[in-house]
């Protein structure tokens, strides 16, 4: 995982502790496997620990064996690994490895989410333009506009990253699940 991917996962799930544990388990795994005669059992244990921390960081939960099996199948079926990760971020694959089958409901919620996103974007632009046209110093204008985008940026990213992108992927590749 790249540093950028780690930061995006932190924004979505807020698990800084998982990031620290992931780094520690990665170092432990590298330390064991860098030896010439390393113990296979210890290496496998460290790898499983690393995988659990990575799943917690990526998806907010630890995957079951059936979900991992389904994930491996989806890596082969879908054209991009990011699409598979989105399905697990959106929790579209249940604990038993089966996909949820509520495509009509997901379509309605996806459209509603798009309307919310467009409305919030239009309101933000309008407020930003109104502030830009005020007769106050430039530093005050920039400070207010940057604060506005900082405050609204997190919920917007969360809506897109946690719901809209996974829902779009689910609706587009529903037939392959």
Give tens-digit pLDDT for 34-65: 887 777 888 888 888 888 888 888 888 889 98
Mean pLDDT across the chain: 85
Share of the chain above pLDDT 90, in %: 16
Cβ neighbors of 94 (< 8 A, separation 6 or more) are: 67, 100
With pLDDT > 70 as the criterion, what percentage of the chain qualifies?
95
pLDDT, position 67? 92
At residue 145, the pLDDT reads 84
Q: Evaluate if residue 2 carries a pLDDT over 70.
A: no
Read out DSSP for 77-96?
A: HSS-HHHHHHHHHTT-B-TT
pLDDT digits (tens, 9 = 90+) for 122-165: 988 898 888 888 888 888 888 888 888 888 887 888 888 888 99
- Measured distance CA(71)–CA(55) in Å, rounded: 12
């Amino acid at each position: 995982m790249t540093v950028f991917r780690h930061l995006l996962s932190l924004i979505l799930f807020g698990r800084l502790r998982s990031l620290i544990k992931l780094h520690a388990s990665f170092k432990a795994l590298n330390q064991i496997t860098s030896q010439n005669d390393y113990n296979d059992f210890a290496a496998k244990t460290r790898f499983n620990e690393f995988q659990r921390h990575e799943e917690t960081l990526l998806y907010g939960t630890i995957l079951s064996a059936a979900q991992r099996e389904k994930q491996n199948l989806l890596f082969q079926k879908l054209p991009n690994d990011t699409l598979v990760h989105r399905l697990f971020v959106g929790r579209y694959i249940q604990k038993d490895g089966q996909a949820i089958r509520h495509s009509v409901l997901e379509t309605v919620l996806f459209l509603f989410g798009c309307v919310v996103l467009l409305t919030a974007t239009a309101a933000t632009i309008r407020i930003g333009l109104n502030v830009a046209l005020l007769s106050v110093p430039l530093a005050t204008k920039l400070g207010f506009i940057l604060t506005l985008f900082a405050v609204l940026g997190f919920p917007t990213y969360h809506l897109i990253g946690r719901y809209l992108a996974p829902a779009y992927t689910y609706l587009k590749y529903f037939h392959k699940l």
